[in-house]
Chain A
């Protein structure tokens, strides 16, 4: 029956955009999300009032990522197609090869403890360079915590921006990556150009 009372996608898209703007100015929005295209597939970006809080790969399942943000941060989440402009632009510049570090306000709300410590260290690995999990463990002052460093990389809520892709296994193998090994290889290739 409702097929007979059609609503166009463009009407709804316009209303949704307006809702995100009004909700933000009414202080009702805790999280803004947006998807962008990239050489490693679509990325979901999420930000709180304090900054970028999550970058997710499509293979993580965007709905699952939204649910986990709702559980861990707030269910007051809306998509804003024109939001997160700075993050989208810096990622574009990075993928174009003309940006070697990110200069964005970041919200580390999803990281705690040793993982947060490792993730805070990762941006110190320079663009185009790599370290092993073992070297990272040493650098953060806990040389025996090689596996924990692996877990910290695997649970990095801000991949690409926080460059966990620059950490490899001691034997030179890629190790793991939340975005898949192809994505990790793509990022490392990009940075070696």
Chain B
């Protein structure tokens, strides 16, 4: 890839962070997944094919990094510990969205992360998170419906 890497960070940094936050919740783990994604991408960058869909490629890398971190976090977790405090970000009022996404059942959350936020087609999302494209479509739709119900009172915010 001959595109300056900085351009990819500018264009896709926000999308990658959404995928990381949706998968891990907003907080230090999502930030770490974001960093690891772009470091891995920078390593591979010069050899990457010119015609790669960079955003989709980054979303797949981000998903895998996020899942690795989630597994590491699960190994670290000590049973009976209190739940971690709600993560805070400097996004002000916005982080209730991330809390809401984090509260979805896992498959819905991953489908929302990869498909709605990462922009991957259902078939590609299915390859990543497992299951059939139809099941992924359902999980993503259910996840969005759950978010819509949760914020039903805020008129017109969700499509």
Chain B's interface size range is: 35 or more
Q: Return A50 CB to nearest CB of chain B, in Å.
A: 19
CB pair B98 A19 closer than 8 Å: no
Which residue of B is nearest A69, CB measured? B4
Which of A18, A29, A75 is the one whose CB lies under 8 Å from B1?
A75
Q: Is the CB of A8 within 8 A of B42?
A: no
A33 to B35: give the CA distance in the assembly, Å. Answer: 19
Check A19 against B38 for contact (C-beta < 8 Å): yes
**Other 6 A-B pairs with CB < 8 A, given A12-B13, A15-B17, A18-B35:** A5-B98, A12-B14, A15-B13, A19-B38, A26-B39, A33-B6
CB distance from B147 to the nearest CB of A (A): 8
Interface class of chain B by DSSP: helix
Pick the contact of B90 from A4, A11, A22 — CB < 8 Å? A11
Q: Are A11 and B17 in contact (CB under 8 A)?
A: yes
B31 within 8 A of A: yes
Are B15 and A2 in contact, with the CB atoms below 8 A? yes
A182 to B5, CA, bound (A): 33
CB <8 Å contact, A19 and B6: no
Known contacts A23-B39, A74-B46, A75-B46; A67 and B4 CB within 8 A of each other: yes
The distance from the CB of A60 to the nearest CB of chain B, in whole angstroms, is: 15
Asked if B158 is an interface residue, CB under 8 A from chain A, the answer is: yes
- Binary per-residue interface labels of chain B (42-61) against chain A in the complex, 1 for a CB within 8 Å, 0 otherwise: 11011000000000000000
Query: Is B78 part of the binding interface, using a Cβ–Cβ cutoff of 8 Å?
Result: no
Please determine whether A12 and B4 come into contact, CB atoms closer than 8 angstroms.
no
Q: Are B5 and A77 in contact (CB under 8 A)?
A: yes
